[in-house]
A and B are shown apart, each in its own frame.
Chain A
Amino acid sequence: KAGVTQTPRYLIKTRGQQVTLSCSPISGHRSVSWYQQTPGQGLQFLFEYFSETQRNKGNFPGRFSGRQFSNSRSEMNVSTLELGDSALYLCASSTRDRGLSSHEQYFGPGTRLTVT
């Protein structure tokens, strides 16, 4: 089975722009979660989607949004980029529908976003 894929792998944007990141989960996985990883804040949970619905949400401003399609692929959008949004954005998929910590998550390689 193919693993979780994320595109693009690297991205450079200018402050004020917006960006869309894509994640394709493992076939059959219906839960997709997004995380932001920075040296200062570590790994922080952004949100989780299941069956095209946002099921869980972290403490990020509304500039961070996401969606999930019927094939479980997910996109994450960040509008009005700030320098502090520079980070590694990780997507993870899971096979079960019983909540974030119930089962292991399979992570993609991440998208490295640099905001200048």
Chain B
Amino acid sequence: SQQGEEDPQALSIQEGENATMNCSYKTSINNLQWYRQNSGRGLVHLILIRSNEREKHSGRLRVTLDTSKKSSSLLITASRAADTASYFCATAQFSGGYNKLIFGAGTRLAVHP
């Protein structure tokens, strides 16, 4: 089963608006990462938030982490057309003697000019 689940699955907004994506996970984590993927291409790391952090900023990105609710959110402020992409959260899960990095299903963000 997937460790991370994002919602919404798809989000359509106008340039200048804020976009919020949520991620829920199932097991305890050391940290949680967010990645962006432009259509059919490789993923780009956006931000990593550790389990002892509640909020982290990077430019127009703000990530929050609530370990009690096992959830995280990614906020993109003042969105631009170039932000159009899929966004994934990722956490590590230890299972069967191995660590696996588990990605959620992703949120497809469309920012319209």
Please report A residues at the B interface, Cβ cutoff 8 Å.
4, 33, 35, 42-45, 48, 55-59, 88, 90, 92, 99-110, 112
Q: Residue B67 at the A interface, CB < 8 A?
A: no
Our count of residue pairs bridging A and B at CB distance below 8 angstroms stands at 70
Pull 25 A–B residue pairs with CB atoms less than 8 Å apart, ordered by A: A4-B42, A33-B101, A35-B103, A42-B2, A43-B106, A44-B103, A45-B100, A48-B99, A58-B100, A59-B100, A90-B42, A90-B43, A92-B42, A99-B92, A100-B100, A101-B30, A101-B33, A102-B31, A104-B33, A104-B48, A105-B45, A107-B35, A107-B44, A110-B40, A112-B40
Binding site for A on B (CB under 8 A): 2, 29-33, 35, 40-45, 48, 88, 90-92, 96, 98-106
Q: Is the CB of A99 within 8 A of B99?
A: yes
Contact residues in B for A110 (Cβ distance below 8 Å)? 40-42
Complex: chain B residue closest to A57, CB-CB? B98
Pick from B29, B42, B90 the residue with the most CB of A within 10 Å. Answer: B42
**Could you say which of A44, A107, A112 contacts B43, with CB atoms under 8 Å apart?**
A107
Helix, strand, loop or mixed for chain A's interface? strand
Q: Within 8 Å CB of B88, what residues of A?
A: 43
Shortest Cβ distance from residue A15 to the other chain B in the assembled complex, whole angstroms: 23
Measured CB to CB, the nearest residue on chain A to B88 is: A43
- Please determine whether A43 and B103 come into contact, CB atoms closer than 8 angstroms: yes
B81 to chain A, nearest CB (A): 22
| B31 contact set on A, CB distance < 8 A | 101-102
Chain B residue contacts of A58, Cβ below 8 A: 98, 100
* A102 x B30 contact (CB < 8 A): yes
Q: Is the CB of B103 within 8 A of A42?
A: yes
Do residues B41 and A56 form an inter-chain contact, with CB atoms below 8 A? no
- Given A42-B106, A101-B92, A104-B48, verify A109-B42 contact (CB < 8 Å): yes
